[in-house]
C-alpha cells in the first residue's frame, strides 16, 4: 500500500447525524485521506471535530471551499447540494451526494455498490446516494431480481426518527419522557419541520415522511418508487410504498412484499440472500430469530428475515428487511462509493 | 323502553384489559343488565370492581358460575373459553367469545356487525369475536368488496402492546424509561409470554405477534388471513399478512394494500368509506390529516386515510387503517354483538 494514492476529501454537513457517521467510517476504514476539510452551514462553522486524533475546525461551505478537493461527500440538505455540488464538480471534484437533489437526474448515477456499481463510471462529477429506505430494500431485492425477475414490490416501512436528524431524536426522547410522566407531549418538529402541523411521534405511528405530492403519496414514498426503478434499471417493475415513522431511534424496518416473475423455491431464496454481498439472513422462527432495529443499529449490513411464501400467490414472497438508516442507508453507502472511486483512481 | 327485556350478564376475564373496557361499555351504553356476574381465574377472584356505582366481587369462573346467566362475554384467554364456553352454551347461555378458541370452528359465526350481521343467527350458543387486527381491516374492506370485489389483500400491521395485555403495557413503559436513562432494557414478556426468547419492544419494531406456525407465519398473521376470508365469506380472496408489534400503547395501525376485482374511481372509494357504518375517513394531505393511533385511542370508530391509487396497478389501492384495538378490536365489537342479541330477544 506504499504507493496508494491519497485523496483530499471534503465532508459537507460534517456536524450532522450522517456527517458524523461518515467521519467515523473514513477513520475506521482507514480511507486514504491526504487532507480533510470539514464543511457546514454558517451556523455550525467554527465548531471543531476530531479525526484520527487531530482537531479539525469546521468551515462554512462556499464554492471556494472545494479548491484542491478531490472527493466531496455531501449530506447538508438538498439546498446546499444543489448550490454547491455542480460548482464543485465543475472544479473536478467527484461529489458523492447523500441528498435528494440529483438522484433522479438522468445524468447522475444513483449507486448502491452491491447492486449497480457498473453505473458508477457514468458519472459527470456527481454520484447520488439513494434514499435510506430505498438502499436497504434494493440491496435485498437484487439477488432475487437477477434470478427470478421482479414483477411487483409493495413496501410498508417502519422508519426511525434519526432519518429526520439529531433534533428528531431529541424530540422522540423528550416526548417519551413527557408521556411516561403523564404530561402532554410537545410536538415541535415531526413529521416535517417545514410544515405547520406537528404530530406526536412518541408511542405513535405517523404515516407521513416528507411532504405530500399531488398524487397523494409523500415524497419519501415517491423516492422509494422512483429510485428503486432507477437503481434496478427497470421501469417495468411496479413499486408502491407506504412510509411510516415510528418511535425507533436507529434502524429502518421494512415489510416488503415481492411478486417475482417466475416460480421459486423458498430454500433457494434464502440461499441467494445469504450469498448476496452486504446481506445477512436472520431467519429462524423456532429460535425467534428475525431482524430487529435495535440489533441492526451500528452495523453496516442489511438484515433479512421472515422470508415466507404468500400462501395465495405462488410467486409472492414476504420479507422483513432491517438496516441502520445512518449507515448502509446513508454514510456507509456513501463511503463505499468513495472507496470504489479511490480504487479506480489508484 | 318500559317493557325492555333485561339480561343476566356474565363477564369472564373481568379484571383484564379487555374485560375492563367491556364493563365500561356496558355501563356507558346502558346495556339492559338485570344481574351482572364478574368472573375470572382463581388468581383474580375476590377483587372488587365498580359497575354503575355498585361494587361487585369477582368470582372464580367455574361451570356452575353460569346458572341463570343469559349472555356471557369471554375474554380470559383461549384456554378458559375452551373449557367453559361449551358448557355455558349447553346451559342455554349465549357466549360471545373474544378469544381464538372458536373463531375458525365452522359451527361458530365470526361476527363484525358492520360486515356480516346476517350470520349472527346461525350461532349454536357461541359467537366468536374476531382478532383485533382483523376487525378493523374487514370493516374498511367491506364497502369496497361490495362495490368492486376483492382479489388480493396484503397487510402490514403496526400493533400496540395493549393487545398483549396490561403487563405488556407496563413492560413498554419500564423499558422506555430504562432506555431513556441509558440503562439496559429488561425484556421479560414480549414478544410472547410463553416462549423463551424475549425482545426489547421499547424503541423497536418486533415482527412477531404470537407463536410461529410450521409455514413460517405467526399465529397472528394466520388469524388475519383465515378470519378475513371467513368474515367476508370468500375463500377466493388472497390475503397475506406481516404482523409487527411497535412501541405504541393503544391503537393498531395497518398499511393495507388491496387489489380490487374491477376498476375504481378514487373519489368513489372515499365516498363509499365515508358512508360506511363505523368508518371515519381522515384523509386530507394538505392539512396533514390521516389516522393516528394516539388520536384513535379511546374511540369506537375505524379510521381510514392515506387512500391512494397504486401508480402501477390501476386496480391497486393503498389504505392506512387505525382503530383502538381494545375497543372496536375487542370490547366494543363484543358489546355490539351483545346489543344485537338483546335486540333480537326483546
Q: Which residue of A has its CA nearest to B314?
A: A238
- pLDDT tens by residue, B108-164: 999 999 999 999 999 999 999 999 999 999 999 999 999 999 999 999 999 999 999
CB A263: neighbour CB atoms within 10 A? 8
The interaxial angle of helices B219-231 and B132-148, nearest 10 deg, is 40
Q: Answer for the pair A247, A201: CB distance below 8 angstroms, yes or no.
A: yes
- pLDDT tens by residue, B175-202: 999 999 999 999 999 999 999 999 999 9
Q: What percent of chain B has pLDDT over 90?
A: 97
C-alpha distances in angstroms, B253 versus A114, A124, A335? Answer: 34, 44, 36
Mean pLDDT of A89-102: 97
Mean pLDDT of B28-38: 97
User: Cβ contact (<8 Å) for B204 and A293?
Assistant: yes
Query: Looking at the domain covering A7-129+330-344, what would its CATH class be?
Result: alpha beta
Which residues of chain A have a CB within 8 Å of the CB of B240? 257, 310-313, 316, 318
Chain A contact present for B187, CB below 8 A: no
pLDDT bracket for residue A346 (50, 70, 90): low
C-alpha distances in angstroms, B238 versus A11, A50, A310, A312? Answer: 49, 55, 9, 5
Our answer to whether residue B95 is catalytic in this structure is: no
How long, in residues, is chain A? 346
Q: How far apart are CA A44 and CA A56, in angstroms?
A: 13
Task: Provide the pLDDT for residue A8.
Answer: 98
Q: Is the peptide bond before A83 cis (omega within 30 degrees of 0)?
A: no
Cell numbers 378493523: residue: B136
Residue A108 exposure: Cα atoms within 13 Å on the Cβ side:
24
DSSP A159: B
pLDDT bracket for residue A332 (50, 70, 90): very high
Task: Provide the pLDDT for residue A345.
Answer: 83
Identify the CA nearest to A140 among candidates A326, A289, A282, A293. A282
Dmax (CA) for chain A in angstroms is 62
pLDDT bracket for residue B171 (50, 70, 90): very high
Chain B contact present for A78, CB below 8 A: no
Q: Answer for the pair A151, A173: CB distance below 8 angstroms, yes or no.
A: no
Q: Answer for the pair A45, A59: CB distance below 8 angstroms, yes or no.
A: yes
Q: Answer for the pair B153, B256: CB distance below 8 angstroms, yes or no.
A: yes
- Is residue B1 over pLDDT 60? no
Identify the CA nearest to B68 among candidates B36, B22, B20. B36
CATH of domain B134-324: 3.30.360.10
Q: How far apart are CA A131 and CA A123, in angstroms?
A: 18
Catalytic one of A132, A199, A243, A313: A132
- Is residue B221 over pLDDT 80? yes
Chain A contact present for B248, CB below 8 A: yes
Q: How far apart are CA B262 and CA B243, in angstroms?
A: 28
User: Cβ contact (<8 Å) for A205 and B316?
Assistant: no
CA-derived radius of gyration, chain B = 20
Q: Judging by beta carbons within 10 Å of its beta carbon (0-12, 13-18, 19+), is residue A107 exposed, middle or buried?
A: exposed
Domain ranges of chain B: 7-129+330-344, 134-324
- pLDDT tens by residue, B53-81: 999 999 999 999 999 999 999 999 999 99
What residues are paired with A158 via a beta bridge?
Answer: A253
- pLDDT tens by residue, A66-76: 999 999 999 99
Task: Provide the pLDDT for residue B4.
Answer: 83
Amino acid at each position: 500500500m506504499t504507493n496508494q494514492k491519497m485523496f483530499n476529501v471534503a465532508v459537507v454537513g460534517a456536524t450532522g447525524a450522517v456527517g458524523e457517521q461518515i467521519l467515523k467510517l473514513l477513520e475506521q476504514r482507514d480511507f486514504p485521506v491526504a487532507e480533510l476539510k470539514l464543511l457546514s452551514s454558517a451556523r455550525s462553522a467554527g465548531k471543531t471535530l476530531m479525526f484520527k486524533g487531530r482537531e479539525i475546525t469546521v468551515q462554512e461551505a462556499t464554492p471556494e471551499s472545494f479548491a484542491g478537493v478531490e472527493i466531496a461527500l455531501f449530506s447538508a440538505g438538498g439546498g446546499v447540494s444543489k448550490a454547491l455540488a455542480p460548482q464543485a464538480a465543475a472544479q473536478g471534484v467527484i461529489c458523492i451526494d447523500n441528498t435528494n437533489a440529483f438522484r433522479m437526474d438522468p445524468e447522475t448515477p444513483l449507486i448502491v455498490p452491491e447492486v449497480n456499481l457498473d453505473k458508477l463510471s457514468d458519472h459527470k462529477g456527481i454520484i447520488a446516494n439513494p434514499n435510506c429506505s430505498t438502499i436497504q430494500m434494493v440491496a435485498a431485492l437484487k439477488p432475487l431480481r437477477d434470478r427470478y425477475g421482479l414483477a411487483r414490490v409493495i413496501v410498508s416501512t417502519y422508519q426511525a426518527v434519526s432519518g429526520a436528524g439529531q433534533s428528531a431524536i431529541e424530540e422522540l426522547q423528550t416526548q417519551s419522557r413527557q408521556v411516561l410522566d403523564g404530561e402532554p407531549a410537545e410536538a415541535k418538529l415531526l413529521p416535517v419541520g417545514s410544515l405547520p402541523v406537528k404530530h406526536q411521534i412518541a408511542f405513535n405511528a405517523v404515516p407521513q415522511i416528507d411532504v405530500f405530492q399531488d398524487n397523494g403519496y409523500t415524497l419519501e414514498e415517491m423516492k422509494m418508487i422512483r429510485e428503486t426503478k432507477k437503481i434496478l434499471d427497470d421501469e417495468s417493475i411496479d413499486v408502491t410504498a407506504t412510509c411510516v415513522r415510528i418511535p425507533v431511534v436507529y434502524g429502518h424496518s421494512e415489510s416488503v412484499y415481492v411478486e417475482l416473475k417466475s416460480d421459486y423455491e423458498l430454500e433457494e431464496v434464502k440461499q441467494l440472500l445469504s450469498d448476496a454481498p452486504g446481506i445477512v439472513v436472520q431467519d429462524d422462527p423456532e429460535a425467534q430469530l428475525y431482524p430487529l432495529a435495535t440489533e441492526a443499529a451500528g452495523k453496516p449490513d442489511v438484515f433479512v428475515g421472515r422470508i415466507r411464501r404468500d400462501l395465495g400467490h405462488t410467486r409472492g414472497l414476504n420479507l422483513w428487511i432491517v438496516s441502520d438508516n445512518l449507515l448502509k442507508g446513508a454514510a456507509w453507502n456513501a463511503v463505499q462509493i468513495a472507496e470504489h472511486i479511490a480504487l479506480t483512481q489508484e
